[in-house]
C-alpha cells in the first residue's frame, strides 16, 4: 500500500519503539523530548504527533518495562578476611597475602553468597579503577550522556 520496502517499515517501527521506550525509561520532559526529535528533521505536525503519543503512553510503557526488567541481585552484606602465608617448607621467608571476601546477595527473597579471592595489589587496582570511573561520572559531559541514556 505504501510502496515502501519491508525493511524500511521494520526499521521505522523499531526506531519509533526505541524512541518511546528510552524516553519513557528516562521520564524526560516535553521540552527534552521535543529537542530529541527536532534533530530528526521531521515536520512540525509529525513532531507534535510524536510528542502527544509519548505523553499519552509513557506511564504505560514504564509499567510494562518494569515488569519485563530482570530482577538483579542486590547487596546484603560483605564478610572479608586477610590471609597471609609467611613461610612454607620450600621457602622459609615469603609473604603471600590474599583477601577473601564473601558477598551476600538478595534475589527474589532468596539469599545467596559468592566467595571471591584476590591479592591486595589487584584489589587496590580495582579500587583505583572504580574511583576513577566515579570521578569521570562527575564530569559535565558524562552527566549529559547519562541523563539522555536513562
Q: How far apart are CA 101 and CA 18, in angstroms?
A: 40
Please indicate, yes or no, whether residues 53 and 97 belong to a single structural domain of this protein: no
Please indicate, yes or no, whether residues 90 and 56 belong to a single structural domain of this protein: no
Please indicate, yes or no, whether residues 113 and 127 belong to a single structural domain of this protein: no
Specify the DSSP class assigned to residue 68. H
Query: Domain total for the chain?
Result: 3
Residue 82 falls within a domain, yes or no? yes
Per-residue pLDDT of the chain (150 residues), as tens digits, is: 778 888 988 998 998 899 898 888 888 888 888 888 888 888 889 889 989 998 998 889 888 888 887 788 899 999 999 999 888 878 778 888 999 999 999 987 889 999 999 999 999 999 999 999 988 888 887 777 777 665
Q: How far apart are CA 113 and CA 106, in angstroms?
A: 9
Residue 1 falls within a domain, yes or no? no
Q: At what angle do helices 140-149 and 120-137 cross, to 10 degrees?
A: 80
Please indicate, yes or no, whether residues 60 and 96 belong to a single structural domain of this protein: no
Put the strands of the sheet holding 74-85 in their side by side order.
Answer: 74-85, 96-107, 110-118
Please indicate, yes or no, whether residues 11 and 59 belong to a single structural domain of this protein: yes
Question: Is residue 57 a contact partner of residue 33, using CB atoms and an 8 Å limit?
Answer: no
Residue 36 falls within a domain, yes or no? yes
Question: Is residue 116 a contact partner of residue 98, using CB atoms and an 8 Å limit?
Answer: no
Please indicate, yes or no, whether residues 80 and 101 belong to a single structural domain of this protein: yes
Please indicate, yes or no, whether residues 62 and 14 belong to a single structural domain of this protein: yes
Please indicate, yes or no, whether residues 63 and 19 belong to a single structural domain of this protein: yes
The predicted structure's pLDDT at residue 103? 95
Please indicate, yes or no, whether residues 93 and 80 belong to a single structural domain of this protein: yes
pTM listed for this prediction: 0.48
Please indicate, yes or no, whether residues 16 and 57 belong to a single structural domain of this protein: yes
Q: How far apart are CA 102 and CA 139, in angstroms?
A: 33
The predicted structure's pLDDT at residue 121? 94
Domain that residue 97 falls in: 74-118
Amino acid at each position: 500500500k505504501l510502496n515502501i520496502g519491508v525493511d524500511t517499515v521494520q526499521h521505522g517501527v523499531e526506531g519509533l519503539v526505541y524512541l518511546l521506550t528510552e524516553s519513557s525509561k528516562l521520564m524526560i520532559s516535553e521540552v527534552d523530548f521535543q529537542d530529541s526529535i527536532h534533530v530528526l528533521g521531521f515536520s512540525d505536525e509529525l513532531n507534535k504527533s510524536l510528542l502527544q503519543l509519548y505523553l499519552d503512553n509513557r506511564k504505560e510503557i514504564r509499567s510494562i518495562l518494569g515488569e519485563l526488567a530482570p530482577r538483579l541481585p542486590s547487596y546484603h552484606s560483605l564478610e572479608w578476611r586477610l590471609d597471609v602465608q609467611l613461610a612454607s617448607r620450600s621457602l622459609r621467608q615469603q609473604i603471600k597475602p590474599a583477601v577473601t571476601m564473601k558477598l551476600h546477595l538478595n534475589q527474589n527473597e532468596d539469599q545467596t553468597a559468592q566467595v571471591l579471592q584476590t591479592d591486595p595489589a589487584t584489589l587496590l587496582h580495582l579500587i583505583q579503577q572504580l574511583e576513577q570511573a566515579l570521578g569521570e561520572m562527575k564530569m559535565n559531559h558524562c552527566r549529559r550522556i547519562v541523563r539522555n541514556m536513562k
